[in-house]
Chains A and B, each alone.
Chain A
Amino acid sequence: SQQGEEDPQALSIQEGENATMNCSYKTSINNLQWYRQNSGRGLVHLILIRSNEREKHSGRLRVTLDTSKKSSSLLITASRAADTASYFCATDAPGAGSYQLTFGKGTKLSVIP
Chain B
Amino acid sequence: KAGVTQTPRYLIKTRGQQVTLSCSPISGHRSVSWYQQTPGQGLQFLFEYFSETQRNKGNFPGRFSGRQFSNSRSEMNVSTLELGDSALYLCASSILPATLDYGYTFGSGTRLTVV
**Do A and B make up one complex?**
yes
B10: shortest Cβ distance to chain A, in Å? 11
Q: Which A residue sits closest to B99, measured CB to CB?
A: A92
Complex: A2 Cα to B44 Cα, angstroms: 8
Give every chain B residue within 8 A of A101 (Cβ-Cβ).
33, 35, 45, 99, 104
Contact call A106/B107, Cβ cutoff below 8 A? no
User: Chain B at the A interface: mostly helix, strand, loop or mixed?
Assistant: strand
Number of contacting residues on B, CB 8 A?
32
User: Chain A at the B interface: mostly helix, strand, loop or mixed?
Assistant: strand
Task: Tell me how many residue pairs across A and B have CB atoms closer than 8 Å.
Answer: 76
Give every chain B residue within 8 A of A44 (Cβ-Cβ).
106
Q: Among the listed stretches B12-20, B48-56, B63-71, which one makes contact with chain A, having 4 or more residues with CB under 8 Å of it?
A: B48-56
A-to-B contact residues, CB < 8 Å: 1-2, 30-31, 33, 35, 40-48, 50, 88, 90, 92, 97-106
B-to-A contact residues, CB < 8 Å: 4, 6, 31, 33, 35, 42-45, 48, 50, 55-56, 58-59, 88, 90, 92, 97-109, 111
Give every chain A residue within 8 A of B35 (Cβ-Cβ).
101, 103
A-B contact pairs, 29 of them (CB 8 A): A1-B59, A31-B99, A33-B103, A40-B88, A40-B109, A40-B111, A41-B109, A42-B4, A42-B90, A42-B107, A43-B90, A45-B105, A48-B103, A50-B101, A88-B43, A90-B43, A98-B56, A99-B33, A99-B48, A99-B56, A99-B98, A100-B33, A100-B45, A101-B33, A102-B45, A103-B35, A103-B43, A104-B42, A106-B42
